[in-house]
Structures are given as structure tokens and as C-alpha cells.
Structure 1
Amino acid sequence: MASPYSQHGFRVGFDWGPVGADAVAGGLVAVVDVLSFTTAVTVAADLGIDVYPYRWRDETAVAYASQYDAHLAVGRSEAGPGDVSLSPATIRQATGVTRLVLPSPNGSTIVQRLSDSGAAVIAVSLRNRLAAAAWANERLAADPSLRVVAIAAGERWPDGSLRPAVEDLWGAGGFLSALQSDGLSPEARAAVAAYEAVADELPKLLHDCAGGRELTQYGYPDDVRIAAEIDESHSVPVLKDGKLTTSI
């Protein structure tokens, strides 16, 4: 008997966080972490940089980066001139980087968690939601049984519980709204409705939402500005052999 949480019977689904990714399985999964993992990934993809998602920035991450001869991103607050971090602005300014290990407790963790699921996993942000939807539409047309799921990464409260992040809801809804399918679950329809309600007011609302205010307060307004480059990226980062590599 299908779980009531699986959105069984609908071709397009939507849920939140790593637990939602486990509960609502799809053959094609779009992970959305607008501020900032998937935005950073699309910036990297635009520059031809492959991104290796990783959960922790610790000694194991150092070994992981060494294994793939990749550059390990530092923490946002630790970044100095020339360093690369989760900040999309630092990636855009990077030189000599072709492979990047990018730890993140939300989007990166979910992507890595899905690596053994058998699903095609893509990184989606507001920057590339149309390109990603076009890529997904080709696969929906070719495979009538394919199920597409968008997972909004969300953030974490200090106690570790999920904090739904409205920017991820908008990013997921923007992607889902461009799919050529009428088989959306109620949850997916709610995400689409959330995006369509604010589409004409982006990017202003991205700066005004809690996540945008947080980054601006911490001194990273450029990261919000880059995340608000709506539909400007044509890259579709696809997870292959442990790395998100561009599909243009």
C-alpha cells in the first residue's frame, strides 16, 4: 500500500528537505536551494566548473577534495581575497578552478543523499529554472512513465529542525510551472501558485524575504543579487559520477 506522503498517482511532486526527498521519490529530482547552494552550482556550471556536493566542511572533505583533485570551498566567513566559498560571488570571481567540492548542510546534502537513488538529479535555482524545465520536458515527452519531483532544501533553525525557506518554494514552483505536464500533485500545485503569486515582483521580494535579509545583514548582498538573476542561466547541472556537471 502506497504511503500517504508519497504523492502516489501524480506525475509531478514536491516536498521539503532530505526527509521529503526520501518520502517523495521520482525518476528525475530537481533539488532547489536558492540561497545559496544551487545558485552557486549554476554559476559554477556557467563557467564550466564541475561541483562535487559534500555535507561537511571538515577533515573528510579535505580528503574527498584530494581524491578528485578538486578545490575545496572554504566557509563564507573564512573567505579571503581569491578564496572560493558557498558564495556565488566568489565562484564568479574564481580563476583556475575546474573542479570544486562545495559543502552545504542543505542542498548539497540532499544531492549527495540522492546519489544512490537511481534518479536523475539536477540543481535548480531561479537563475536556470526555465533551462532545467526544458531539459526535464524533453525527458517527460520521451518517457511517459517518468515522474518529476522538486525538492525545496529549506534551511535549519538553531535546534536543527527544518525552516521552510520561501525562496526555495519560489524556485521549485518556478521550475514546476514551466513543466509540460498536468499531473501535478496538490503539493506541486501549491508551489506553482506560490511562484506565480510573486513572479512579477521578483527579484525585489528575494531581497526582502528572511533568507535575503539574512545574507544582506551578514554582508553578502551580492549573493542575493546573483540569485535574483531570474532565467539568465542556460546551464542544467546534472549529477553524474558524484559531481554536478553542466548540460547546456
Structure 2
Amino acid sequence: MEWGPTGAEAVSADYAVVVDVLSFTTTLSVAVERGIEVFPFRWRDSRAAEHAVRHGATLAVGRFEALSRGDARHVSLSPASLAEVDGIERLVLPSPNGSTIAFALADSGAQVVGACLRNAAAVARWLAPQVADGASVVVVPAGERWHDETLRPAVEDLWGAGAVLTALDAEAEAGASPEARMAMAAWQAAVLPHDLLHCAGGRELGEAGFVADVEIAARCDVSEVVPVLVGESFRDAADLTPPAPRLRRVGD
């Protein structure tokens, strides 16, 4: 387990699990549940709109931009917003942190998976046969950014990482690093939904009027989707034909 974009670039593994509970991977899980192909994108500017046009996709806007437009059905990074829209097949989801991590991991040769509290057990079940076959797995809690762009560790992402690792350990009895074991211990100590609502990230969203997003993020193991990054987009592993193969590193 390693933190953030820098950690993503520092590790080498066959499978890499990105965790951004508030809210990139939670929104990703909700979208994929609804059959939406999700194109993560690093930037929230005119390039995102161009990317959406290129892929014939809807562009998700920022939470506050959606509010300012006065359209409750507008799709944003808010996972709750996806419950209010219909007819979307492709979605560009700008997320400088989560997207940057996902593509950095993909560039390293890893098969990238998106996980949150909602689908932690499903992701672990999907990974277990690969681990049993000898594959390595790194889990990357995204964290947040301070104003000076340094990493701000986020406890909700530590819990999300711990949830995946705990379930994977139960499924595959894989050897876990000390960092992974500490994430597992943190997850076992968490009390949800209370702790998610009252941690720094949860409070910030709640005070801004997005309590529903935190409540959705706190629903553990309610989703069976396993979002897998294939090319430029995330799709459910169950819809991939054939299933996404293990990507072996050079020298395996």
C-alpha cells in the first residue's frame, strides 16, 4: 500500500487498486452500476469538454458548478447526482487526483481497478484468483491535496484501502505488508457511517450541503461492480469479454 500520485509512481505490481472514497471511486462505482462507461480525465478545464466531445460522452461538472446552474439533474462528481439522471452511456469524470493516479498506474503496466467502501468485497473477490495465481497487488489510497499541492492523507481512503485488503486477505490469505496491515487495522477500528460523516473530508462535504454523498459513500459492500480501466475508460469487469487478463511485468 502506498499513498497518492507519488506512491502510485513508486510501486510496481500486476494489479493496482485506486481508492478515493470522497468521491472519485465512489462516483465511479455508482456510474458503472448504472451501466455507464466512465472516462476519467486529469484536468477540469476546456480540455475536459474536448475530451467528452471526442468520445461522445457527457461531461461531469464540479459539485458547486452543478449547484450554480440550478439543475438538480446535472451530472457532477457528486455520486448522488447520478441517481437523478437517465440516458447517459458515457461519462467524462474529471478528477485531477484519482485520474492522475489511475493513469500513472496504468502506465506502469498494472491492471487498474477502482474501489471504494461500496464495492471493496467485490473487488477483493475478483482479485483473489489472480493473487492465488501469484499476482501482486498494490492498493493506493488517493488522499487529498493541501493548498501547496502536497499530499493530505485522508482517513476515509485509508479505511477504503483497509476494507479491500481485509476482504482480500480473507479470500486469498495473501501476505500483507506492514503498511497494508495497518490499513486493515484502521478499517477494523472505523465506525460507519458515523466516522465517515465526522472525519475531515466528511465534515467538509456535509457543511457544503453534500451529506447525501457521504451517506452513499458509507454504504459498505452494497455493490458488485468491479470497475477496470481498459484503455481510456473504466468498465465493469463482468462486461469484459474475455475478462481482463493479468498483465505480467517484464521478467515475470
TM-score computed with the length of structure 1 as normaliser: 0.91
Name which of 97, 103, 107 aligns with 2:98. 107
1:6 aligns with none
Q: Is the 8 A contact 2:118 2:217 kept in 1?
A: yes
Correspondence list, 1:199-218, <5 A = 201-218=191-208
2:237 is paired with a residue whose SS is: coil
Which residue does 2:174 correspond to in 1?
182
Give ranges in structure 1 of 5+ residues lacking alignment: 1-13
Q: Counterparts of 1:96-245 in structure 2 under 5 Å?
A: 96-141=87-132, 143-144=133-134, 146-179=135-168, 180-198=172-190, 201-245=191-235
1:203, distance to aligned residue in structure 2 (A): 1.5
How far apart are residue 164 of structure 1 and its match? Answer: 0.2
**1:67 deviation in Å?**
1.1
- Contact 2:63–2:77 under 8 Å retained in 1: yes
The answer to whether the 8 A contact 1:203-1:230 is kept is no
| Moved >4 Å (runs of 4+) | none
Name the counterpart of 1:47. 34
SS at match of 2:17: strand
SS in 2 for 1:78: helix
Task: State the shift of 1:84 in Å.
Answer: 0.4
In structure 2, how many angstroms separate the alpha carbons of the residues matched to 1:120 and 1:51? Answer: 16
Give distance in 2, aligned partners of 1:151 and 1:93. Answer: 30
What is the CA–CA distance in structure 2 between the aligned matches of 1:235 and 1:152, rounded to whole Å?
19
Q: Which residue does 1:32 correspond to in 2?
A: 19
SS at match of 2:225: coil
Distance (Å, rounded) in 2 between the aligned partners of 1:182 and 1:117: 22
* 1:72 aligned residue: 59
Work out the CA distance in 2 between the residues paired with 1:115 and 1:84. Answer: 26
Given residue 196 of structure 1, which amino acid in structure 2 is its aligned partner?
A: Q
User: How far off its partner does 1:91 sit?
Assistant: 1.4
CA-based RMSD of the aligned residues comes to 1.0
Deviation at 1:108, TM superposition (A): 2.0
Equivalent residue of 2:114, what SS? Answer: strand
The alignment covers a number of residue pairs equal to 231
Deviation for aligned residue 1:60: 1.1
Give aligned-pair identity as a percent: 54
Once the two structures are superposed, what CA deviation does each residue of 1:157-196 show, in whole Å capped at 9, x if it has no partner?
1111110000000000010011123311111111111111
Q: What is the CA-CA distance between 1:68 and the residue it aligns to? A: 0.8
Structure 1: distance between partners of 2:80 and 2:187: 25
* 1:134-161 per-position Cα deviation (integer Å, ceiling 9, x unaligned): 00002112x22x1100000000111111
SS of residue in 2 equivalent to 1:159: coil
2:84 and 2:101 map into 1 onto residues whose CA distance is: 26
1:92 & 1:26 partners in 2: Cα distance? 35
Normalised by the size of structure 2, how large is the TM-score? 0.89
- 1:229, 1:127 → 2: CA distance? 6
